[in-house]
Each structure stands twice: as structure tokens, then as C-alpha cells.
Structure 1
Amino acid sequence: MNYKVLARKYRPQNFQELIGQDILVNTLKNALNDGRLAHAFLLTGIRGIGKTTTARIIAKAFNCEGNNNNKPTFEICNNCGPCNAITKGNSLDVIEIDAASKTGVDNIREIIESVMYSTNEMRFKIYIIDEVHMLSTAAFNALLKTLEEPPNNTKFIFATTETKKIPATIISRCQRFDLKRIDDEVLINHLKSICVKEDITIDDESLKQISSSSEGSMRDALSILDQVAALSNNQIQITELRQLLGIRSKLDFIKLYKFCLDAKASEALNYYYQLIQDSTDPSDILNSLISICSDACKFVVNNNLLDEHVNEFKKISEHGITKLLRSWQVLIKGLDETKSGTNQIEIVSIIIVKLCYTSSTPMPEELIKKLDKKISNNSTNQTSTKTIENKNIDQKITTSEPLESDKTYQPIKNENKVDSEHKTNIENKISLNNFEELLTFLIENREALLHAQLVNNVVIDSFESGKISMKISENCSFDVVKHLSKFLQDKTGLKWVIEEVQKTDNKTHEETKDINFEKKKKEIESDPIINEVKQLFPNAEIKDIE
């Protein structure tokens, strides 16, 4: 007795049997009923989703003779000659081509030449090209003209898993259908009906596991069901299924994730290597952690999760959404690292270590509280220090001998009288005692050009009220001495002496500012709280210090 695997035995033979592709079915139904038929179709989707099967059903719809209309039909009979020939795969007018093995331009030329001939026995000649993205660029170019204007009795159906590799000029000439992954509920119900027909005993947990492992692919799901049924003699249990698939219970991965969130790096690594010794694939471990992290984040947001381990997710959610999102970033970045590396076991182990130490890093809000507390403590200490100093000063003043200013003098009439006009002039005089005061004074009087020259091109050797010694850069084309002298005389009413020296060990104001900034920056970076911030945000830099 020849056994036919479930994936072939339960392959859909008409549109009504297609599972989970309602949009495609409804579109083709309307097109067939209205006679609005495209000359080329492009079917895309993951492996085992039904692309080739759908292509054969479309070929039947074009050529079915069971309705006696002599035109394409949505209601396929599967009893007429064309339908039986397509089902058996021996039709002369439905040509299936594997583009993975026939990629060259010569293979396409054969198709172009055969297109010119009339059909042998059917209404339409159908070319089904599987894995069409494997064709060479020259082959695609050779096909363009024929694809755009094929003979009336010729139809093309392309199937591919990688649409991005197909030229846009080809896609634009086709009616495209994206076959979606089959929903878990639809897939599980279909598997249940097949188990009933095949007299297979299976529990709901096993059905969910098969659906999850197949990732929405009907062929993969039926292949797994077929294999585990043979292993368990049609009495499928979850333990045998997990053993067959090489997967662990979800609780195992939840336990590992909790170790990571609790920053228990040693326990997490030991448990990880235990899973590896039990033949668990490292990529499966990483993907399971990603799935758990995703479920945990959704649980925090919605406070609702349709999962048997909901109590475990309640415990995980106590870590807060911020920590969960940080772990998500580590896991997703780690997924890219595994794709580019070769030693998957060690790569995933380091990802787990990174996840543990990321979880132990304080949250930003915690760091802000620490910084605020430290600043508050520093302010308190400074205030108390000043109070102590003031008390000491008061004590010195009270215990020492009376100051001369405390002695009483009788005023002498007219001797210390100051002329009111002279007093006004003194009060109006502007006193500049250092270079910083001069720079501020220049800004207040809108002398931006002179200010810029003094900051960048002048080195102050000495500064006192009424006299400045400076070294002027050779690159400075501005007459600093002339303009500064005039400005100071106009604004202060005094004639300033400005000397130009040839040598000095000092730096320009801008250079001194940079040196002081770097010095303060090093002091700040040595602070343990700032170190924690930099670990949390590796690319963070200190831009300014106030």
C-alpha cells in the first residue's frame, strides 16, 4: 500500500478548500464571474503557504469544462479531463517550471518560442514558474515583452518567496497576491479536522505547539503532525512532540528570562548551558526570550494576556516597562549579531550576560533622584560650612580689641566737605579691574568684533586698572591696540596704557576656557553616578558644564 503524506493527501483542489486566503479567493471569484482575467499572476508568501497549489487551482479555473460554459469558472468540478490532468500533473498545456534549476536566458527563450504555438487540448496554455526570483537578469529582460503582450490563449503564474529580488518591471506586469500566514486559530481548527479523519488523538497543547512551530505554514504543520503521529502511534502527547521538535517548555525560557531580569548572571549562564546540553538550539533560546519579552511588555500595557503562564508574566511585569524595553533592545540587537556570527552558542551566551548587566543598571529616574539628592546634600554642607565660618569671624570680632572705626570722632565742620560736582564724576567712573570684566563690558556695549579679537587672538600678560600688557597673534589683521584704547577712553574717561609684548606664557581666553572645561570634565567623569549614567547611555557625552 502506497502511503501519501498528509501534506499531499489534504492539498486543496479548489478555491473552497484554500485555508486562510480569503482575500485572494474573493478577488479571483469576482474576476472569474465578471470575466476580468489578468494575463499574469504573481503569488508571494513564505514556504508551504500554498503558492504552487493556488497556481494549479487557478489553472483549473481557466480550463475546467465541467460547467459546459466554455469559459473560465470559479466552481471547479475536478472531474473533467483538464482538471484530472492538472491534478495528476500530466497536462501538456500546464507547464510547471522550476526557476531554481532553469535560471538562464536560454530556458526563457524556449518558453517564448513555445508560447507561439496553440494549445494541445485545453482552453488556455498556463506557465507556472516556481521560485521565479531565481531567474537571471538577462532571463527577466528576455521575458518582459512576452509577459506584457502574451497571446490570448496564454497565461503566466509566478510563485516566489522573495519578492524583492524580482525586477519592478516584472511585478508591474502582473496581478499580485500576497498569501498571508495562516492564523493560529484557523490552522489549529484545520489540524483538528484532519486528526479526526485520520483517527489521531491529540491534545490542545500539542496543537498549539505545532501551530507555533510551523509559523503559519500549512505544509510545515502537516509535516510535523505526520511525523509525530508516526512516532507516537497516533497518540500524540506534548512531551513526545517537544522531544521530536527539540524544543522546551515555555516555563524553561521564562525561568531563564527571570534570571536575566534579576541580574543573576551566574545562574542565567549555568541554566543556559544546561538547555544547550539538552540539545536546545541557541537560536530557539534567543527567539523564545524575544517572544517572552514581547508578551511581558504587552501584559504591562494591557494588563491582559491569553497565556497559561499568566501568573509568571505578572511577576515579570513588576520589573516595569522601562526595564523590559531595555531588555528588548538587547535581544533584538543580539538577533542581528547571531546572523553575522558563526559560533551561535557563545554569541547567545554573551547576549545573556549583557542582558543581566543591563538589567542591573539603575533606571534613568533612579539616577536623577541620586543626582538630586547629592546636589541637595552638597548645598546643605556648603551652607553649614559658611555658617560655621561666620560664627568664627563673629567670635574674633567680639573678643578682639575695638577697631579704630568703632571709636567716636567729633565731626570737624567744613574740613571733609566734598564738592558735589567732583563727587558725581567719581560715582560715574567705570572701574575695570580684570580681563573678565572688560569682556563683559564689551558685550554690554555691543562691541562684538573687538570682543572676538580679544578672546581668540590676544593673550593677556597683565591687567590692572588703567594699564594692560598683551601679546597679539600674528594672524590678527585687526588693530586691537588702537580700537581698544579709544573704546576705554570714551567709556571710562581715563587714558589707558596698552603695551604690546612679544612673549608670554599665558594662553588666550578661549584656550584657557577649553583647558578648564577639560579639567572639570575629568573631575565630573570620575564621579560614580556619572559612570553609571555613561554605562546606561554609552554614546552620551558631556557637552557643557554650568
Structure 2
Amino acid sequence: MAKKKSDSDVTAGGAEGSAPAKPYVVLARKYRPQTFDDLIGQETMVQTLRNAFASGRIAHGFMLTGVRGVGKTTTARILARALNYETDTISVPTIDMPGLGRHCLEIMESRHPDVIEMDAASNTGVDNIREIIESARYRPLSARTKVFIIDEVHMLSKGAFNALLKTLEEPPGHVKFIFATTEIRKVPVTVLSRCQRFDLRRVDVPRLAQHLKNIVANEGAAADDDALTLISRAAEGSVRDALSILDQAISTSFAPETGGDSTVTATAVRALLGLADRGRIFDLLETLAAGEIASALGALDGLHKDGAEAAQVLADLAEAVHITARVKAVGPDAAGEALALEEKRRAATLGDKLSMPLLARLWQMLLKGLDEAGKAPNPLAAAEMVLIRIAHTSDLPPPDEIIRALGGAPERRRNGAAPAEGTRAGAGATAEATGDAATARASRAQPASPDFDLDLLPEDDRDFEFPSDGSMMDEDGASDDGDGVAATLAGQGPSLRPLNTFADVVGLAGDRRDAKLKVMLEEQTSLVKFDGVAGTIDLYLLPAASPDVANDLREKLNKWTGRRWIVALSKTPGETPIGQVRREREAQEIAALKRHPAVAAVLNAFPDAEVSPVRRIARDRDDDSKAG
């Protein structure tokens, strides 16, 4: 690994009677790559540039993008060095740079007159770009190519970008532009289209950990593999972040009493970063899965006292749940190289105890809890409430078991009405097989009565009556068999409701619990034409109606009825909307009631009394006493 020599060559005054001591250079600068071979994790970009240089197809503009610390500025300097690489035997641009050329040292130290670096964060205006444009007119002083490196290019103003466009599109032959940015979406597409874009990738955890291991060996220090993995994971793919953390971890592990370095351990790294111990996180997850609230809260309090933030504990718990689910799904060997062996073992053990639905539930609750902890004035209290909820719900059965335990929908209704028919047919066949013809006929003739619990239905749906003939009657007196209504309530299977009028279509939308569509049909549409036999509906949309109501109605009618419908829009208004008709009818009924002598007497006695809309009561079709 090449080192930046100039940083270590600078000297400062030392103690009395001693030679000047070299100042310490942080690892992020000391191990900054000097050639393309030193870059890690960017093989695709390096191969593309290597082929371009070999074939002479070198672009005049390069756009380097990626997260912080992946090497954008360093790559720009190496690219400028490759463009101007020159030795006694090499006088053309080349990717292979075995040693320092005539301009290499000055370029890498940012002091070459023909390689101009500009920080767009502090030079955002048009005047700064005009200086670049003016300088681009002149040939380089000593190098082969004049290179302009603009870092954080997305910070340029709109005017600055516009001023740069013409020169960027047709620059002089001796000029190259290299841009670097972390916010590629803020760069205008007019600039992007004039450059070759290279996305520098995050370095994965195993590769970054190996890189840190090599640096630790070069520094004469020692570090556990788990500690390096933890640092690599905390760096989130950024090499500079990883080197900064490693630098601090080595300093933390220094033992002055022994006069030498000690080993960097995972415990020391967790304490340094304020991260919770992974083993303690798995212990906390097991405690939560067992429903032990007191132990879980005590573990959270202990982690918080040791320096772990409450939100970080929840994030670590979510990561532990993800690791457990991943190991349970694909096995420890395929769970990823970024996991330590102990993590894989704990995740496999925990995965054997927890079901996948429970892990999915824990994941969702922890994600919601993370959001709550971020907004709460006391994150620790929010985290405790999250753990309490998780512990209380850890032993809950799945929703379908809860419904069956409460007397809800049996298996046959959740699979549609067909099993019910099969059950009745099977009962008849069994009776016939035993030779009891009368019993067989009775089993076929007598429909099974609905066995779901009305308390589980919405309040508006509890007015269904169960006549003795097995049919079901709604509040308007329309009859349907039990399996048809059960299928309608479950939202499965074609509807058995006859669609003779547009009001029947609105009623079907209500049966299917599509309140939005029902309201739109009642209040925001005017019926122009309805033909239930041909399956055609013409509607006029009122000003407040959604333009998608026709397509929505057509698709849902096709699904609900099992036949093809055509819903067209008319430019001419038709009938009065159903909702308005209903309100006018109710107003007339209330007015008629108020004229009744008994009601009038009550209203006179109680001036503040009001007559509410009358709810129609379902009646038996064969009971003439309820007619009228």
C-alpha cells in the first residue's frame, strides 16, 4: 500500500536536545491511494478507464459520484496524474504508473499549476466559473493536459452551471474536466449529458475489514477480526470513515503503563462508538420473545447506562431480527460474510425458537418504534414502551387463530362458498350410502344455517335475518341464500345479487364494503342509461366526481359479477343522483310524520325534539301484517 510521503516529510520542532519530530499523519491521509491499483472496491471503474486509455478514447469530462469517503477526490487526482504521467520512457496518458512521474508529486499534493482544484461549496458563483473558462483558453504551462477538478459540483448556482455548459461541451483539446459530487440528483442533466459518469460503490464489509487488517499490520498494531468487522459495518462502506474509526480505536487501546499498543477488541470498539454489545442484543431479543418484561427493561437500562442510545438499541434489535430471519430463511452459511460466527450461531439458535410470522411482526413493531423514539421528547421512555408492547404481543396467536377462537368465520367461508356446497352434497351422499333416502333428501333440501358471529360484523350488517328456509334477507327485503351472502361478506366469488337497476349496483358496492365507490355512485354521478341484460351503464359525472369512477366501476363489476360490463360517460345529465333522491324522500317522510297528530303533540310538548330519519326494518315477504 502506497503512502503519501509528503505528509510524513513535513517536520516540526521537537523537545530540547532532540531532532525535529515528524508530525503524526492520520491513517486516512497516510494510506490515501496513489494509483488505481490502490483503490479498493472500484474495479468496474478502473477497468473502464484502463480500456479507455488503452484505446485512446479518453473523454473530456468525468463525473464521479458516491457517498462520502469512497474516494471521489482521490480518484480525481489519480486520474489527473494518469492524464499527465510522464517519465523518461513514457510520454502518453496511461493507467499503469509504476513510479512517480515528473508531475505526480505536485498533482497529488494539489500544488501543480496545470491541475486546478476548486471547491464548489465555497466558490458557487458565475465569476468563479468565468475564471475557469478564461484559464481554459491557455495551454498548460508544463504538463501535457490542463485539468480542472471541481469538488462538490452540485453546490454551483444555476447561473454557474449555465455558464459552464458551452465550454464543457466543446473544450479545447488540452483541457479535461473532472467533477465530484455526493448529490448527483442536484446536478443538471445538461451537465451530466456532457460527462462520463462513474458511480463509486460502497466497499463491502469483508473487503473493508481485510483492508483494515493490512493497515493494522503495517502500523505494527493488533486488532481482533470481530473488532475490524464492527468498524467496517459502522463505516457503512466509507473507507475514510473506517480509517478514522480505526485510528481512534488504536489510540483507545494504547497502554501507556506498558509503553506499547494493546489489541483492539470488539468491546473497546463498541464502547468507543456507543454501540450495544451484539451478544447482549440477542439476549434482549430472547427475553422479549419470552415475554419477560421486567428482564427486558432491566437489560435496556443496563445498555443505556453503558452508553448505548435508546434509538440505537432499537436499531440493533431490528438488525438482530433481520439477521435471525435471514439465517432462518437461507441458513447460516448463506447469511452473508459480514456476520461474525457468533452472530450466526446465536441467530440460528433464536431462529429455531421463533416463527417467521413472529419475526415479521417484531420487525414491523421495531420499525414503528424507531420512528416513535426519534420524535419522542424522551427516547428512552419511548424505547421502553416499544419493548413493553413487543413483550405483551410475543405470545399472541396469529390473527386467523384469534378469529376462530372468537367464533368467527370457519375455514369453509374463508375459502369461498364452494366448500359449503360440497359439505351439503357430501352429507347427502353419506345418507344415501347408508340407505336412508329420507335423510338424504332432507340433508340436500335443508341449507346449512350461517354460523358466523354477528358481533364480529360491522354494526350496519347486523340486521340480516335468518329465515327458516335458509335464505337471507337484507334490510330492503331482498333475499339471498346464506352462502351467497357469506361469499359477499368475504369479498370472494361472484355476487348473487340481481342487478336489475342502478340502485342494485350501488347496493352491491355496499355489500362489498367499497364505501368510496358507493358514495361516488350515490352522490357524484347521474344515471343516463342502465341495461342490466346487456351489461351497459351510461353515467354523467357531476363536477365533484373523480374522472376514474367509470374505470373503477367497470373493473369491480367485472370482478364481482363474473361477467363483462361496459361503463360509458355521457355529456348530458340524466337522472337525479340516488343520494339526493334518498334525502328528498326522507325529508318528505319526516314532514309527513310531523303532521301525524301524535307526533305533532309530542313536538309541541317538546319544542327541542327532532325527528330522525326512519330506518327501514326488514320484513318477511310472506307476512302481510307487515306490509305497507
TM-score normalised per structure 2: 0.59
2:263 counterpart (236, 239, 248): 236
Q: Please tell me whether the aligned partners of residues 78 and 84 of structure 1 are also in contact (alpha carbons under 8 angstroms).
A: no
Aligned to 1:309: 343
Q: Distance in 2 between matches of 1:326 and 1:336?
A: 16
Secondary structure of the structure 2 residue equivalent to 1:96 = strand
Distance 1:335 1:27, change over 3 A: farther
Distance 1:284 1:446, change over 3 A: closer
Q: Does 1:299 align with 2:333?
A: no
2:114 counterpart (87, 93, 98): 93
| Alignment map for 1:491-510 (pairs within 5 Å) | none
Distance 1:367 1:259, change over 3 A: same
Distance 1:149 1:315, change over 3 A: same
Aligned to 1:79: 100
Secondary structure of the structure 2 residue equivalent to 1:308 = helix
Q: Does 1:268 align with 2:296?
A: yes
Aligned to 1:331: 366
Aligned to 2:402: 367
How far off its partner does 1:169 sit? 2.2
> AA paired with 2:271?
Q
Aligned to 1:320: 355
Q: Please tell me whether the aligned partners of residues 276 and 316 of structure 2 are also in contact (alpha carbons under 8 angstroms).
A: no
Over the matched positions of the two proteins, sequence identity in percent amounts to 41
Aligned to 2:464: none
How far off its partner does 1:345 sit? 3.6
How far off its partner does 1:68 sit? 4.1
Q: Distance in 1 between matches of 2:364 and 2:150?
A: 41
Q: Please tell me whether the aligned partners of residues 205 and 237 of structure 2 are also in contact (alpha carbons under 8 angstroms).
A: yes
Tell me: higher relative CO, structure 1 or 2? Use CA pairs within 8 A at least 6 residues apart: 1
Q: Please tell me whether the aligned partners of residues 126 and 154 of structure 1 are also in contact (alpha carbons under 8 angstroms).
A: yes
Q: Please tell me whether the aligned partners of residues 318 and 363 of structure 2 are also in contact (alpha carbons under 8 angstroms).
A: yes
Secondary structure of the structure 2 residue equivalent to 1:66 = coil
CA deviation profile, 1:36-71 (whole Å, cap 9, x unmatched): 111111111221111111111100110101274532
Q: Please tell me whether the aligned partners of residues 373 and 380 of structure 2 are also in contact (alpha carbons under 8 angstroms).
A: no
2:50 counterpart (25, 29, 38): 29
Q: Does 1:250 align with 2:278?
A: yes
CA deviation profile, 1:336-375 (whole Å, cap 9, x unmatched): 4455566544444443344334435432232143145897
Q: Distance in 2 between matches of 1:338 and 1:435?
A: 48
Q: Distance in 1 between matches of 2:82 and 2:262?
A: 39
207-216 vs 321-330, greater mean Cα deviation = 207-216
| Alignment map for 1:479-490 (pairs within 5 Å) | none
How far off its partner does 1:113 sit? 2.3
Q: Distance in 2 between matches of 1:243 and 1:261?
A: 26
Q: Distance in 2 between matches of 1:197 and 1:435?
A: 83
Q: Does 1:279 align with 2:307?
A: yes
How far off its partner does 1:78 sit? 4.1
Distance 1:67 1:331, change over 3 A: farther
Q: Please tell me whether the aligned partners of residues 105 and 136 of structure 1 are also in contact (alpha carbons under 8 angstroms).
A: yes
Structure 2's unaligned 5+ residue stretches are 1-21, 255-260, 412-472, 481-495, 506-521, 523-580, 586-591, 600-610, 619-628
Aligned to 1:142: 163
Q: Distance in 2 between matches of 1:315 and 1:14?
A: 46
CA deviation profile, 1:96-132 (whole Å, cap 9, x unmatched): 1122222233322222222222212111111112222
> AA paired with 2:346?
E
TM-score normalised per structure 1: 0.68
Aligned to 2:180: 159
How far off its partner does 1:94 sit? 1.1
Q: Does 1:169 align with 2:190?
A: yes
Distance 1:323 1:121, change over 3 A: same
Q: Does 1:121 align with 2:149?
A: no
> AA paired with 1:115?
A
Q: Please tell me whether the aligned partners of residues 42 and 201 of structure 2 are also in contact (alpha carbons under 8 angstroms).
A: yes
Secondary structure of the structure 2 residue equivalent to 1:129 = strand
Aligned length: 415
Distance 1:42 1:204, change over 3 A: same
Q: Distance in 2 between matches of 1:445 and 1:175?
A: 64
Aligned to 2:571: none
Aligned to 2:492: none
Distance 1:473 1:61, change over 3 A: closer
Distance 1:220 1:277, change over 3 A: same
Secondary structure of the structure 2 residue equivalent to 1:101 = coil
Aligned to 2:32: 11
- Computed over aligned residues only, the root mean square deviation of the Cα atoms, in angstroms, reads 3.6
How far off its partner does 1:86 sit? 0.7
CA deviation profile, 1:172-225 (whole Å, cap 9, x unmatched): 222111111112222222222222222112222222222222222211222222
Distance 1:104 1:348, change over 3 A: farther
How far off its partner does 1:133 sit? 2.0
Aligned to 2:391: 356
Aligned to 1:402: none
Q: Please tell me whether the aligned partners of residues 66 and 77 of structure 1 are also in contact (alpha carbons under 8 angstroms).
A: no
Structure number with higher helix proportion:
1
Q: Please tell me whether the aligned partners of residues 182 and 218 of structure 1 are also in contact (alpha carbons under 8 angstroms).
A: yes
80-89 vs 291-300, greater mean Cα deviation = 80-89
Q: Please tell me whether the aligned partners of residues 188 and 208 of structure 1 are also in contact (alpha carbons under 8 angstroms).
A: yes
Q: Distance in 1 between matches of 2:34 and 2:214?
A: 17
How far off its partner does 1:141 sit? 2.5
Q: Please tell me whether the aligned partners of residues 403 and 409 of structure 2 are also in contact (alpha carbons under 8 angstroms).
A: no
> AA paired with 2:235?
S
Distance 1:348 1:105, change over 3 A: farther
Aligned to 2:224: 203
